[in-house]
Every structure is written in C-alpha cells, then in structure tokens.
Amino acid sequence: MLFHPAKNPVELRVIHLNKNQEQRREDLMEATQGKAALKQFKKTMAKKAKQALKVKTKNKKKHADDKAQVFVLDFDGDIKATAVKHLREEISTLISAANKGDEVVVRLESGGGVVHGYGLAAAQLVRLKDAGLKLTVCVDKVAASGGYMMACVADKVVAAPFAIIGSIGVVSQLPNFHKWLKNHDVDYEMFTAGDYKRTVTVFGENDAEDRAKYQEELEQTHELFKHFVNNYRPTLDVAKVATGEHWYGEDALKLNLIDSLQTSDSYILERMEDNEVYALHSRQKPTLAEKLGLAQAAEATLSIAVDKLPDALARFDLNSRLNILK
C-alpha cells in the first residue's frame, strides 16, 4: 500500500456490516423459527427493497442527496501509538474513495503514550475532516491523555457510561542511579554541545537547574496539549478539565468532554438502519511461514527451550561436579 515498501506489504480487508448483520439475523431466525419463516421473511424484505428502489428511481435523486456511506475504523493504541501505521493507510484509502459528507466512525481505545506518537495519530484524524468527511469517535473503555487528544478532533465524541475520559496532562518519570554508582565507585561521564541538550539523566547527578528546565519543558507540552483541545472543542472549559484528572462517561458528558453516552455497537447499529456501513481492517500481509504456522511453531519451540534451559544447566552443573569428585 501507499506508505509501506514492497518488503512489508499491507493488505486491506473491507467488511460490509449490513450484509454481515443480515446473515446473522437469518441464521438465528432459521434456527429458532424454521426455514418456512425465514423464506417468508426474505420475501417480505425483497418486496420492501423493490419498493424503495422504485421510489428512489422516481425521485431521480442525485448522488449528493443519496444516503451517506459510513466507514468504521479501529484504533487500539499502545504507549507508542504503533497502530497509526495502519490507521494512516486506511485514512489515505478513504480520502481517495469516499465522498464528501460520508461519515467515518473510529472505535478508539487508548490510555495515551508518547507525545509525538499520539500527535501524529491525531493529525491523521484531522486529515479526514480536511477532506470533508464527518468524523465520529466512539469510546467503549478508555480515551485518556493521548487517546483524548485523538478523540477531541471528532465532530462528535460518543462514549460508554463508564468509559474513562480526559487526563489532559503530561507526565514523565525516571529513576536516578547516581548515588548507587557513587557508592560503588563507578564514574559516569556525559558530553554534550548546547546548554540544554540533556537536563535530567538516569545516571548523572541532577541539580535544581536541571529539574527546573525539565519541568518547564513539561509545562510547554501541556500548554500545546490544552491549545489543541481548545481548538477542536472550543466550548469546553479547558482550564477546568486540563488538570490531569480523568472522568467516567456520565461525568465527562456534564463537563462537555464528550457529546453523548452510547456504546459503539449501539451507535453503529443505528447508522446501519439508514446507511450502508463498511468496516476497514488493514494488517501486515503474513509470510508463507506464518500462513503455514511455521513461525508460530518455531516461537513455541523456542519458548519451551528457554523455559527448560535453567533445569538443563543445573543438571549439567551437577554432572560436572560429580565427574570432578570421581
């Protein structure tokens, strides 16, 4: 695909959710009511579809007046926002194929992570709005910190009642081993060019000036975060919510962090009533070894070998000692 070299190909799968749901409904109806009831149901639905097509043809609606299509994307974020690798591919495909006015629903789950990773992920969502597409973000469990940075871009943010929302803040923590190294007579040397190339370090001695500069950098990042949120949710009282705190869905709604309470399943089913809904999933194309299961088998064998290695070494050590005693 667009951003991946030939050595790391990515494949895109498109699922028509309306058809999937219809098939499941028919399977359940056949199992619970029998084939005769299913046959009658199909006849009724076919008749309704035919009538709807006649009305559409009679009115001669232009494409701009047709039902907007809805596309569903998933983003399950880790601390590095590595899922953006596939998100950017899916968004690029949508921008080139979708029509203005179509809706993109992003099912977002993330507790946040590195600033540059989630900054890029949020910028990818901005591309959808710039292309004239309506953006809705659904949060079932958590959209905190960098996750909320992404969510706030949306035209509409929908969250489950107990989803964790907010955490508009910045955090950084690290251990310091300077005293331990000093006690063990280990010197640590670091060479830099530029007054602030390094401030606080893990192994060096940190002074008040180092800590003050590092805190200043965190505050600057926080200000950028608050400005970004305020830009996309101007009615939000950013000063009130940008404390690093998080809230559950109902309280987040009162604070205007989200727009409505609803699970992603419920929202998508509603959209399916009047629109054609498609889910897009991209993934790294599996190698031949992965298709045959060889990669998984090799990984399992290696895991077993690693687990048994301590026992094998212990037996070897015991045998060596016995031989020496002989």
Q: What is the pLDDT of residues 272-326, one digit of tens each?
A: 999 999 999 988 776 666 556 666 777 777 778 777 777 766 665 555 544 444 3
- Whether residues 128 and 37 share a domain: the answer is yes
Tell me, yes or no, whether 48 lies in a domain: yes
- Whether residues 210 and 121 share a domain: the answer is no
Burial (Cβ within 10 Å: 0-12, 13-18, ≥19) of residue 85:
middle
Per-residue pLDDT reduced to its tens digit, 136-155: 999 999 999 999 999 999 99
Residue-range definition of the domain harbouring residue 147: 10-167+245-284
- Whether residues 154 and 178 share a domain: the answer is no
Q: Phi, psi (5° rounding) for residue 151?
A: -60, -40
Tell me, yes or no, whether 3 lies in a domain: no
- Whether residues 140 and 276 share a domain: the answer is yes
- Whether residues 21 and 75 share a domain: the answer is yes
Q: Most confidently modeled of 20-24, 36-40, 215-219? A: 215-219
Which range (33-37, 79-83, 185-189) has the least confidence?
33-37
Tell me, yes or no, whether 1 lies in a domain: no
Tell me, yes or no, whether 44 lies in a domain: yes
Determine whether 197 is an active site residue: yes
In whole angstroms, what is the distance from residue 131 CA to residue 121 CA? 16
- Whether residues 25 and 49 share a domain: the answer is yes
Alpha helices in the chain (DSSP H): 17-33, 35-59, 84-97, 115-130, 146-151, 178-183, 208-232, 238-241, 249-254, 264-274, 288-292, 294-325
In whole angstroms, what is the distance from residue 153 CA to residue 233 CA? 8
**How high is the pLDDT of residue 324?**
43
- Whether residues 155 and 178 share a domain: the answer is no
- Whether residues 152 and 215 share a domain: the answer is no
Tell me, yes or no, whether 279 lies in a domain: yes
Tell me, yes or no, whether 158 lies in a domain: yes
- Whether residues 271 and 130 share a domain: the answer is yes
In whole angstroms, what is the distance from residue 114 CA to residue 78 CA? 9
pLDDT at position 64 over 50: no
Tell me, yes or no, whether 224 lies in a domain: yes
By three-state DSSP, how is residue 140 classified?
coil
Query: Which DSSP letter does residue 326 get?
Result: -
Of the candidates 110, 145, 264, 282, the residue annotated as catalytic is 145
- Whether residues 260 and 191 share a domain: the answer is no
pLDDT at position 5 over 90: no
By three-state DSSP, how is residue 241 classified?
helix
- CATH at residue 46: 3.90.226.10
- Whether residues 69 and 160 share a domain: the answer is yes
Nearest to 103 by CA among 282, 276, 281: 276
Nearest to 136 by CA among 14, 30, 277: 277
In whole angstroms, what is the distance from residue 265 CA to residue 245 CA? 27
HSE-CB for 53 with a 13 A CA cutoff? 6
Domain total for the chain? 3
- Whether residues 321 and 271 share a domain: the answer is no
Of the candidates 50, 58, 197, 326, the residue annotated as catalytic is 197
